[in-house]
Structure formats: structure tokens, C-alpha cells
């Protein structure tokens, strides 16, 4: 399919709340293929449609990609139906917040419902990295970046760092 550019903070489009997919059709499947290609090209393990400028409630993910294998998963209109009270902290990064890694606390376990690329409904229980990644990507659907979970001071320092890097890249 096609590798599409990934938006980076502080692009205001990343703050848009995504809309539900009404019908899973060939257009949605092409978008999923483009998202998957874009995620692999950027060496990521997850990508939300808004990160390539499409405000649709779609996520692609491939945790096996870290080990050099390909096992892409697609989540359309995902909804978390339950979160554990126990929290887990993982060091998170994001293709839209390049070269920044910070610890974020999220629910250790979750249950979610979603549609696959054929429009079939699924339920999922997740923990560990899968739970963290799904929550991270679902935040994107609400216009939330992982750095929004950090203190205001830390977030503003990181955003200044990103803006400076972007200016240097654009000038070079």
C-alpha cells in the first residue's frame, strides 16, 4: 500500500478526537494497510489513524515487530470495558513524539471490545505491554499524547525540546 507521513507534536491535528467508523469497507481496509506500512516504516509497534492525519477510531499494532516478526493486529472502534485498579508503569515512546521516552502509569490489565478489518466484533483481555500499548493508542483517539500524563512542567520542557528539534530539522 503506501507509507504516509506521521504527524509529530505539537501538530494540533494530534489533539483532534477521532470519530467512529460507520462501515468497515475497502476504504477502511486500505487505510489500515497504509497505517500498517507506515508503522513498520517508522519501526513502531502501534499507530492510531489520527497520527497520519485521519481522525478515525482505528489502531494498528504489532508487538511481535520488536523481535523482527510480523503479526499485525487491527482495532476498529475500540472501547475499554474494564480496567484493573492495579497500575503498571512502562517507559513509553511514541512515533508522534520522537526521541522522547518517559515512564507512564496505566491500568495493569484491561478488557476491550473492537471490530476487526472484516467488521467482526471481538473481546480482548490484555495485560503487560499489550494493555499499555492499547491504552496508549486509544488515548490518541481522544486527542491525548502520552506526555499529557506527565507533570505540566515536564510536558512543557519536552514540548520545547520537540519544537527546537523541529526548527533545526526544518532549517537543515
Of the candidates 53, 49, 39, 44, the one whose C-alpha atom is nearest the C-alpha of residue 7 is 53
CA angle (167 as vertex; 161, 169 as ends), nearest 5:
100
CA distance 91 to 112: 22
Of the candidates 111, 95, 126, the one whose C-alpha atom is nearest the C-alpha of residue 7 is 95
Distances (CA, A) of 123 to 18, 19, 103, 116, 126: 21, 20, 28, 10, 10
CA distance 29 to 35: 10
- Please say whether the beta carbons of 85 and 99 come within 8 A: no
Active-site residue (options: 108, 125, 137, 142): 137
Active site residue 137: yes
Is the preceding omega at residue 10 within 30 degrees of 0, hence cis?
yes
* Residues with catalytic roles: 137
Amino acid at each position: 500500500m503506501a507509507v504516509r507521513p506521521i504527524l509529530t507534536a505539537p501538530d494540533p491535528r494530534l489533539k483532534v478526537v477521532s470519530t467512529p467508523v460507520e462501515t468497515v469497507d475497502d476504504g477502511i481496509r486500505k487505510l489500515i494497510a497504509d497505517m500498517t506500512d507506515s508503522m513498520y516504516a517508522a519501526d513502531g509497534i502501534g499507530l492510531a489513524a489520527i497520527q497520519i492525519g485521519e481522525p478515525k477510531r482505528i489502531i494498528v499494532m504489532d508487538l511481535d515487530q520488536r523481535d523482527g516478526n510480523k503479526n499485525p493486529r487491527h482495532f476498529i472502534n475500540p472501547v475499554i470495558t474494564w480496567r484493573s485498579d492495579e497500575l503498571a508503569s512502562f517507559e513509553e515512546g511514541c512515533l508522534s513524539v520522537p526521541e522522547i521516552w518517559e515512564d507512564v502509569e496505566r491500568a495493569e490489565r484491561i478488557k476491550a471490545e473492537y471490530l476487526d478489518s472484516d467488521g467482526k466484533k471481538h473481546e480482548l483481555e490484555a495485560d503487560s505491554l499489550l494493555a499499555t500499548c492499547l491504552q496508549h493508542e486509544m488515548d490518541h483517539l481522544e486527542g491525548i499524547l502520552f506526555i499529557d500524563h506527565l507533570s505540566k512542567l515536564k510536558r512543557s520542557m519536552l514540548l520545547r525540546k520537540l519544537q527546537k528539534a523541529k526548527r533545526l530539522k526544518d532549517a537543515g
